[in-house]
Every structure is written in C-alpha cells, then in structure tokens.
Structure 1
Amino acid sequence: MKILGIDPGTAIVGFSILEYENSKIDLIDYGCIYTDKNLPMEERLLIIFNELEKIIQKYSPEHMAVEELFYFKNNKTVISVGEARGVILLAGMKNNLKISEYTPLQVKIGITGYGKADKKQVQLMVKTLLKLKEIPKPDDAADAIAIAITHINSFNNLQFNTSFSSNISTKALTKTKMSAKEFRELMINK
C-alpha cells in the first residue's frame, strides 16, 4: 500500500510517499510544493493542484492522509489554508485516492504516543521509525511523513480491531456487564 502524506499550506505544502508492505514502512520520496506569496491566490492554488497531480501520477498511491486544520490566530491564514486543503482534497478525489484526515493531536499521539509532544520530538520519532540518518528537512516535509505514518498506524489498528471483533461470538455474552476476569475468559475461549 502506498500512502501520500500531506501537510497543507499555501506557501509550502509538505508531501511524502510511503510504502507499507509486510509490516515494513519504506520512505519513497518527500519534499515540498512551493508557491510565491506575490502570486494571486488562484494561481497558487493551481500550482498546488498541478504539482500534486504530478506526484500522484508518478507514484500511484492508493491512500492520501491530510492534516486537518487547527486553530489559527489569523483568520486570513485559516481561510487560505482551507482553500489549499480544498484543492488538495480535490486532487485526491479526482485520482480516486482513499482520503483520511488527522488532527495535529492525532499525529502527535500516532507518532510519539504523547499528545503534547513538540515538533522536534515528532521529527525525532519519524527519523527513528524510518531508521533515517537525519531528520527530514524542511519541517513541512517531515510533518507530511508523520501524517502518513499516523495513517499507517491508524489503518493497522482498524484492521486489527475489525479482525479481532469479528472473531468474538456474541452468543457467549450472557450479560451486559462483566468483570475483567470474565472478559479474559471470553477472549481466550473464543
């Protein structure tokens, strides 16, 4: 499975391509799409869309993981990043990608296991998880890698939960509340 991770923005859009196969994550490519702040917004959005389409066509990912918007102090910034996210989501839909969105908190927890981790801690975990010699640069690209890894972790948890829960017989449930001991016995005797 190939995942396109996206850290949205208007001046800089971080991207990553990860391949996940046989419980192994390979970093295929990463980088940024840059737009000139002096260009009209519609031109910047077109650049983002066209460059993203080139990346999608080059690597043929099946999934796109995009960071959700979070609180901005500047309303103008949140609007422009929202417009960029719209273009990014459009490119994903147009190319039939399965799109998932993750909040910054979900990414921090998904990478470090700690919701108050700072950017440096997330980047160090990306480096460690992928066995890289150095932290990927620039920060936007490292964030895009973290978003893609979060998607892989989320995808694995969903698969585990789905297969695990489908193996449990509800016929064995005789009451709505049970002790931890009763739960363990149910799991062992499924």
Structure 2
Amino acid sequence: MTLILGLDPSLSCTGWGLIRVDGARLSHIANGQIAPPRDRGLPERLAALHAGVGRVIALHRPERAACEEVFVNRNPQSTLKLAQARGAVLAACGAAGLPVSEHAARLVKKAVVGTGAAEKPQIAAMLRVLLPGADISGPDAADALAVAIADAHLRPPR
C-alpha cells in the first residue's frame, strides 16, 4: 500500500487530497483546502501555505506527493503568484523529506477522465466513481485528489 498526497497549489486556496493505493485499488483517506488570510502580506500567506501543508504531511505521513506543473497564464502576475505558492507547498514537502512528482494539467485530466480537455464537472463525476463516498471539501481539494489519482496511474507503486 502507498499513500499519495495530491496538491493543487494556489495563493488563494491550496487543495490537498490523500489517497491509498493498493494494487489497482484506490481509496480516499482525506482531503481539504488551505486558505491563507487574504488580508495578510505575501510572506505571511506563503508561510501559512507552508505550515498548512506541513501539518497535513505530519498528520497523515504520505509516502510521496504529486503536484501539477506550472502553467503560464496570460497575466504574468498571476503566473508569478502561482509559482510562489507552488514554491511554498513544494518546500513543505522537501522539509518533510517527501518526494514530489509533477504532472501537466492535461495529463492529469487524461489519466482521470480519459481526455486532456476534460472540464471540472467531468473530473468531479469521475472522482465520485473512483472514490465513492468521499466527502470532497471543495473544487481545489477535488483537483488535488485528481492529481493524486493521476500520479497513482502514471507512477504505479512498486
């Protein structure tokens, strides 16, 4: 059995989702969202993301993590903020000695739904099929669970 932590970093709300992989069988362990206070400065918000992901790792003790690769927005400021949030999240994984895989968003969608052009409702529907009974905290947590599932398919546990 392998525990995989999926991460969907964002400065406004970072989603996380933890699954257990046992052969071809997937099961939901936990999920949530970390929303740093919007009224704080960038350093405090990044610190909140780092600490929040660190708490999730300490509580659940996953064996590996997976995160979406950075995509470039039309707005360079948005891309920079996303990269900074990813840095805080990845640093939390690194501080815990957790190996992290990165996957392109289209590859995540293809691994979960079967097409790289899948929309959020299609991903949500597949999550209900793949992780029956999971109470998903919100859209960012759903995206994080999709990243974890994709990682299970793309990098099967040994």
The alignment's TM-score, normalised by the length of structure 2, stands at 0.93
Distance 1:128 1:38 in 2: 38
Q: Which residue of 1 aligns with 2:154?
A: 154
Distance 1:5 1:46 in 2: 19
Post-superposition shift, 1:62?
Answer: 0.9
SS of residue matched to 2:47: helix
- Change in 2 beyond 3 A, CA 1:90/1:133: closer
**Percent of residue pairs bearing the same amino acid type:** 29
Q: Which runs of 5+ in 1 are unaligned?
A: 160-190
Distance 1:22 1:68 in 2: 26
Distance 1:102 1:41 in 2: 26
Q: Which residue of 1 aligns with 2:139?
A: 139
Counterpart code for 1:51: G
Deviates more, 1:125-134 or 1:39-48: 125-134
Q: Determine if the alignment matches structure 1 residue 50 to structure 2 residue 34.
A: no
Instruction: Tell me how large the CA RMSD over aligned residues is.
Output: 1.5
CA-to-aligned-CA distance 1:133-188 (integer Å, 9 cap, x gap)? 77x341100000000000000112x86xxxxxxxxxxxxxxxxxxxxxxxxxxxxx
Distance 2:4 2:134 in 1: 22
Q: Indicate conservation of the 8 Å contact 2:31/2:137, yes or no.
A: no
Counterpart code for 1:82: A
Distance 1:86 1:125 in 2: 29
Q: Which residue of 1 aligns with 2:70?
A: 69
The structure showing larger relative contact order (alpha-carbon pairs under 8 Å, at least 6 residues apart) is 2
Q: Determine if the alignment matches structure 1 residue 17 to structure 2 residue 18.
A: yes
Distance 1:29 1:59 in 2: 9
Counterpart code for 2:152: I
Distance 2:134 2:6 in 1: 21
Distance 1:26 1:116 in 2: 25
The alignment's TM-score, normalised by the length of structure 1, stands at 0.78
Larger Rg computed on CA atoms: 1
SS of residue matched to 1:37: coil
Q: Which residue of 1 aligns with 2:42?
A: 41
Distance 1:152 1:92 in 2: 18
The structure whose residues are more often helix, as a share, is 1
- Change in 2 beyond 3 A, CA 1:34/1:155: same
- Change in 2 beyond 3 A, CA 1:137/1:59: closer
Q: Which runs of 5+ in 2 are unaligned?
A: none
